[in-house]
Amino acid sequence: MNDIEESHRSLRLLEEISSGDELTQRDLSDRAGMALGLVNAYLKNLVAKGYIKISAIPPKRFRYYVTPKGFVEKSRLTYHLLQNYTRIFREARRDYSALFHRLHAQGVSGVYFAGVDEVAEIAYLSLQEVDVEFLGAVDTGRRGESFFKTRILGFDELEGLSPGARVVITTYNRRDAVYRRLAEAGVDMGLVHSIYPLTGGRKAG
């Protein structure tokens, strides 16, 4: 796991806790999009560093609070991530442009996006540079919502790709999870591309 992902997860938890809502670890897991065990590990780390405190609420429940030190860390992480994401987005614009030009040269006629967030928007802008059709986007968390006037599909709806179609991973923070969901959905992984390295250093496409 790289520093950006660690910082992002810590910041997400600090943001959720600072909202003032009474949240369980499962609530935090759902809101932050993190596995329950991962939330537990991060909370322990944040407590150890003095960024959050826990108080017991009967019966057998706990409430989390962000400490003054934690609010300082939250501000620091926000600034740090803003700088890093500015660089990531700039590089994404360049790398998606290169990928789409390469796919066009290979005769690819259309692409699906897998994962919908700010990175997907950058990918969509880059796609406009070439004569490759945008076929749609898949993302279980946003299924049914709209992305550039198209309905976002679930992974289970992405099957039977036409010979000229490809799938491009268009999220940075969730790229490994999206890759796994595509595999679980039975997508031919030889047709999947990512501009970002995946777990273990592998790179799709």
Average pLDDT of span 113-132: 94
Query: Alpha-carbon Rg of the chain, whole angstroms?
Result: 19
Domain ranges for the chain, please list them: 3-66, 88-201
Q: Which residue has the higher pLDDT, 129 or 203?
A: 129
What is the phi/psi pair of residue 33, to 5°? 65, 35
**Per-residue model confidence as pLDDT tens digits over 61-85:** 678 899 999 999 999 988 888 887 7
Residue 193 and residue 18: Cα distance in Å, rounded? Answer: 37
Q: Are 89 and 122 in contact (CB under 8 A)?
A: yes
Residue 171 CB neighbours (<10 A): 22
Closest among 80, 95, 86, 90 to 6, alpha carbons compared:
80
Would you mind telling me the total number of residues written for the chain in this entry? 205
Provide the CATH topology of domain 3-66.
Answer: Arc Repressor Mutant, subunit A (1.10.10)
**Per-residue model confidence as pLDDT tens digits over 10-43:** 988 999 998 877 788 888 888 877 888 889 999 9
Q: Is the pLDDT of residue 116 over 80?
A: yes
Residue 163 and residue 110: Cα distance in Å, rounded? Answer: 10
Provide the CATH topology of domain 88-201.
Answer: Rossmann fold (3.40.50)
Q: Is the pLDDT of residue 181 over 50?
A: yes
Instruction: Please report, as a single letter, which amino acid is at residue 68.
Output: P
Average pLDDT of span 132-138: 95
Which residue stretches of the chain are H helix? Answer: 3-18, 25-32, 36-48, 68-105, 118-127, 175-184
